[in-house]
Amino acid sequence: MLILDKIFFKQMMMRRVLYSLLPIILVATYFFGLRTLVLMLLVTFAATITEFIFQRRLNKPVSEAVIVTSVLFTLTLPVSTPFWVAIVGIVFGIVFAKEVFGGFGRNIFNPALVSRTFLYVCFPKFLTVQWNMPSISLPGGLTTYITPSVDAVSQSTPLLILAQTGKMTPLNNLFWGNTSGSLGETSAFILLLAGIYLLYSKTADWRLMLSPILGFISLNSILYLFNVPSAPSPIWGLFSGSIIFISVFFSTEPITAPRTIQGKWIYGILIGCITILIRVYGIFVEGGMFAVLIMNTFAPIIDETVKYAIVQQKRKVVA
């Protein structure tokens, strides 16, 4: 413990995020096998070493945030992602989305999502084609290294199935997690429980968590009512893909989100709207990671605009 204390900078908020992630890790392991834990450990080790190299020059410890980043990044991947691909992704994210900006607390973009997006663009085969079947019978994947791979489109992820066949995975499967997909995104139920814990422990801002869901459901409902092709029912759309995962863990990251109350609402609602727009009109079946990174870019501008509007409103009142 003393060695770990010297290496890592203690952050209670990061600890609580890790606590909320433990059930998700367990469920992911149950559905897809013990390779989940091996992949996560390798990613965390690579990320820690990378940050240690940068922090050593400044005689500073590694932040516990790097562990959270590693776990979140791993949970955005399919269980069959090659180890070397995952390591390349997390090293890229830590270096170019965090350390080049000055390290923890100074990054503009979410490192986990930058890592995931980098792999999505550079190694799409491993993140869009290779999926594994979820294990549903006890003891599940807890005694299996990795579950069988998916061979047919009809057994792929819910959004891919919808895009390629027009069929929708039953809501019950989406809610509990009995579907193929990225490790941490399949079970809406366990993600909602994690969100409740983060709100109860005051680790996450409820505005940043609720606003993406409101934005997503609102625009999804409008498109659905106008019978726009590829726009599923709002509830199905909410439980499929990564919008809940994004809302609970990524839009709520305080470093890359706006500080003003009005800015948080604008930021989150736009994340939800952009996600559904990419799903329906874009070439990607999932737009959550792109939506968050786009809004990371505009977070400072949103805050400045809100502050300017408040000042102008006060001047009008005084006049």
pLDDT of the residue at 3: 40
Rounded CA separation 57/103 (Å): 12
The chain-wide mean pLDDT, for the chain, equals: 90
Rounded CA separation 21/203 (Å): 13
Judge whether 27 and 177 are in contact, CB under 8 Å.
Answer: yes
The pTM is what?
A: 0.92
CA angle (91, 150, 177) in 5-degree steps: 75
- Per-residue pLDDT, averaged over 111-116, amounts to 96
Residue 284 pLDDT level (bands cut at 50, 70, 90): confident
pLDDT of the residue at 152: 56
- Ramachandran quadrant class, 93 (left: phi over 0; alpha: psi -120 to 50; beta: rest): alpha
pLDDT for 170-220, tens place per residue?
888 888 888 888 999 889 999 999 999 999 999 999 999 999 999 999 999
**Following DSSP, what letter does each residue of 197-255 receive, concatenated?**
HHHHTT-S-HHHHHHHHHHHHHHHHHHHHTT-TT---HHHHHHSTTHHHIIIIITT-TT
Residue 319 pLDDT level (bands cut at 50, 70, 90): low
Q: How many CB atoms lie within 10 A of CB 85?
A: 15
Pair of tokens at residue 105: 């607390």
Who has greater pLDDT, 92 or 125? 92
pLDDT of the residue at 154: 52
DSSP bridge partners of 9: 63
DSSP bridge partners of 18: none
Pair of tokens at residue 226: 């106008």
Who has greater pLDDT, 48 or 137? 48
Burial class of residue 23 in the structure, from the number of CB atoms within 10 Å of its CB (0-12 exposed, 13-18 middle, 19+ buried): middle
Rounded CA separation 48/68 (Å): 11
Burial class of residue 5 in the structure, from the number of CB atoms within 10 Å of its CB (0-12 exposed, 13-18 middle, 19+ buried): exposed
DSSP-derived 3-state class of residue 164:
helix
Count the helices and strands in the chain (H runs, E runs).
15, 2
Rounded CA separation 281/279 (Å): 6
